[in-house]
Structure 1
């Protein structure tokens, strides 16, 4: 008699299974999508409607002859099916009696490197596929380097299409030896090699009789048993504050996700950057209160003392602090079609902290196909380099290899709001090693009252040349009206302009002119209102405009910096100034 299914028991049992996130990577036609499709098919994880659709699609657009084309389960985009390649990252979830899995099928083409980085950013394990006929190729090295860059600790080298080389052990051994020679310097701790045939099902779910010389396990058995518990950093407690929870006057908690480590009720904790000390009063989740919590749980912590904490700050154990610095070095993967702009201050999103950051210098760029390093001034789409950063305010971080959550960040373009890069922090940088560090020569310039920012740098950043206007006239109201309209139009057309009125400022026309000239030299457009009609001598290239209540034939021109304007022609005169004097 069949046992009645208890949904609650099933869900409880499923929830207790640990989750393995894995990605597949390989060259075009190495069989990534076919392997995952076969894994789902042989492990009986497909529904009847999926099987029916797979059989129909295999006959219509499949690439496996009369056999089922398992790759169609993963290649979801129309372009992928038409070209027979993977472009986007395809995610598939399935579960066995031992473990839950999320598989990311990532594209193998070099132009889709950013897609692979996205798919592998949360992976515990990577399956690198190699065609048994071609062996280790350039793409194999590139994908392995990216896997090591992402800090993935478990790698399976899946030598696929063994059926096409007659299941020859010598072919497999030669590929394994060549691969291990390359991968050893990258420092990946756990590497396993499995010969298989995704199309035929050899060593995918069940051990193959065609390769009796292989003494290891089938791929699924390995995935079910690989030990990943030690991959989590349970040593360094890092708790970035996401928001302050105050549902009523009697409760004030700090909510967030534990990035790493363990916290227990009664633990002594430090708030950074303030350095204030308190103890954990309670650890709260939706179901109730906990005695301890660990990464990656989302919780709310209450403290014994009233400490001022807000989003972006962090709770840690006082005897185990992260690095706290504005300066650090990181490996950077550029993901935007718009190239890096070293003159632009990007937004950096790190844990729950967001601030501005400057890319101070680029150490080198890495050719992911050859591993060669070369000098460069910026990075293009899909390029990888090592760079030095300086943020506007300190970040609290660990090296990425030690702590993924507190060692990773993204860069956001402040103009387009696109995520333009992902970074993995290597370590903090000594300020003396920064290109933007204040030198002895800079200190001497400051003692002399000179700026460290050149006029050329200001003009480049502002996107305009400085200009000085002196406006005068018999009727002060007309002069102020003209100046106000000119300032408004300049602002509307993307210029930075200021208006000075000697009478309002309470200074002489000469002093106002000196101040205006200094700002004009730094790229600012300055409009000086000569309230008392006292300015006679002006610096060279200053545009002087006198308003008159009488008609005049005088016009704004590029040849002369002096002009008389009829009061009733103010609007047209303003347009002429913008079009002629600022063009």
Structure 2
């Protein structure tokens, strides 16, 4: 859906630029993830009239006594027939304060890889829990995966509060249990909200049915959660994606290096180093299609020009001379395996795609397989099957320019590709410390 219809002429969104919040939903089956997203779209008036009419028609045809807002995100026919979410459905909406991209991820265990895909770029994750069931295995699994993927903000939504008579006791019991579990994980920011996605309680506005709850509504929290400080503005990392040399008779000496700023702040005059060559230079200008900039920061896409003619090509990285990533061919990483046909095995040969650099790699060692439900390390495992997570050591044919994933999600993350089929078979997170 285009967000253009959400910002009419003269609206506050034209007066000032808005930041973007990417968030994912997670939880067990039938916890109401798709219904919650449908409610957010409905309450923020982010639906076209024909979209709502189509959902109402399908709901009536199915015999539902209410408009099933979950149908707005369960777009695949198989999903509608089974009443479950399979694919990662992306939806877009905006309020006067912020733009949003939602990834509605599946709740079934066999679709863990889809959940990892949706949460890997998220600033925040909504973990839904059915108030009648409390925490279940999938709730803990998804909380752990969010911690592993370094999602900076977690929101536990205790859904279906209407089915437990909006009980404060039930809510607090679930909140206390989840908070105790989250204390074992790396979850820096946790918020707990009691909601009813079906009826809209505490979604866009505070609910009169839960006067004992003194916190903000879910939408208010999403609009105001502070994400600017989540970006790494210290370590300058600029993976070069493309070398720009205009084929023009009027422009003969232009050489620019295009890419997306992964972290840090770049300014004209800054001394920089190019890896893996190690040559240093200074930034003469930072260009965009709209003209030069005084500074560039993540996730801006820009073209950097250097004072010296250095041999720079795709896959190289621009950084600070005294603050460089690790240059290594031996990579320690946590990997989520996504291939249902062949498991990851020691000796397996793959292609690793890291930022703008690709390298062939071999799995040298599988240290352990991690049970995400108990956090137990199985050091006797010899392979990783579909949706399993483990720690491995890779040896690459060319050096990769990596940071610890905990410090930089962009330069610390990579994907594993089967060189025979060209399919993505795994997602990895670099570990440089225990």
User: Which TM-score tier does this pair reach, normalised by the shorter chain?
Assistant: over 0.9
Query: How far off its partner does 1:249 sit?
Result: 2.4
Bigger relative contact order, structure 1 or 2 (CA pairs below 8 A, ≥6 apart): 2
Tell me the residue number matched to 1:147.
146
User: More deviation in 9-18 or 335-344?
Assistant: 9-18
Residue by residue over 1:193-235, the C-alpha shift from the partner in whole angstroms, topping out at 9 and shown as x without a partner, is: 0001111111011100111100001100110000000111111
* 8 Å contact from structure 2 (residues 12, 96) kept in 1: no
Query: How far off its partner does 1:9 sit?
Result: 5.6
Tell me the residue number matched to 1:363.
367
Matches within 5 A, 1:548-567: none
* 8 Å contact from structure 1 (residues 58, 69) kept in 2: yes
Q: Out of 344, 347, 352, which is 2:348 matched to?
A: 344
* C-alpha separation in 1, matches of 2:323 and 2:10: 40
Matches within 5 A, 1:293-304: 293-304=296-307
Q: Out of 396, 400, 411, which is 1:395 matched to?
A: 400
Query: How far off its partner does 1:12 sit?
Result: 6.7
User: More deviation in 7-16 or 85-94?
Assistant: 7-16
User: More deviation in 161-170 or 389-398?
Assistant: 389-398
* C-alpha separation in 2, matches of 1:43 and 1:328: 45
* C-alpha separation in 2, matches of 1:80 and 1:167: 30
Tell me the residue number matched to 1:488.
none
* C-alpha separation in 2, matches of 1:253 and 1:410: 27
* C-alpha separation in 1, matches of 2:7 and 2:425: 48
* C-alpha separation in 2, matches of 1:171 and 1:269: 56
* C-alpha separation in 2, matches of 1:252 and 1:39: 46
Q: Out of 274, 278, 283, which is 2:277 matched to?
A: 274
Residue ranges of structure 1 left out of the alignment (5+ in a row): 430-583
* C-alpha separation in 2, matches of 1:6 and 1:66: 33
Tell me the residue number matched to 1:230.
229
Secondary structure of the residue aligned to 1:82 is: helix
Query: How far off its partner does 1:55 sit?
Result: 1.1
Query: How far off its partner does 1:374 sit?
Result: 0.8
Tell me the residue number matched to 1:384.
389
* C-alpha separation in 2, matches of 1:59 and 1:7: 32
* 8 Å contact from structure 2 (residues 13, 97) kept in 1: no
* C-alpha separation in 2, matches of 1:150 and 1:15: 32
* 8 Å contact from structure 2 (residues 267, 283) kept in 1: yes
Secondary structure of the residue aligned to 1:262 is: coil
State the number of aligned residues. Answer: 423
1:285 aligns to 2:285 (yes or no): no
Query: How far off its partner does 1:43 sit?
Result: 1.8
TM, length-normalised to structure 2:
0.94
Residue ranges of structure 2 left out of the alignment (5+ in a row): 1-5
Tell me the residue number matched to 2:44.
43
Larger radius of gyration: 1
Structure showing the higher helix proportion among its residues: 1
Secondary structure of the residue aligned to 1:305 is: coil
Secondary structure of the residue aligned to 2:71 is: helix
User: More deviation in 366-375 or 160-169?
Assistant: 366-375
TM, length-normalised to structure 1:
0.71
* 8 Å contact from structure 1 (residues 323, 428) kept in 2: no
Relative to 1, partners in 2 of residues 1:38 and 1:269: Cα closer, same or farther, differing over 3 Å?
Answer: same
Residue by residue over 1:549-574, the C-alpha shift from the partner in whole angstroms, topping out at 9 and shown as x without a partner, is: xxxxxxxxxxxxxxxxxxxxxxxxxx
Tell me the residue number matched to 2:171.
172
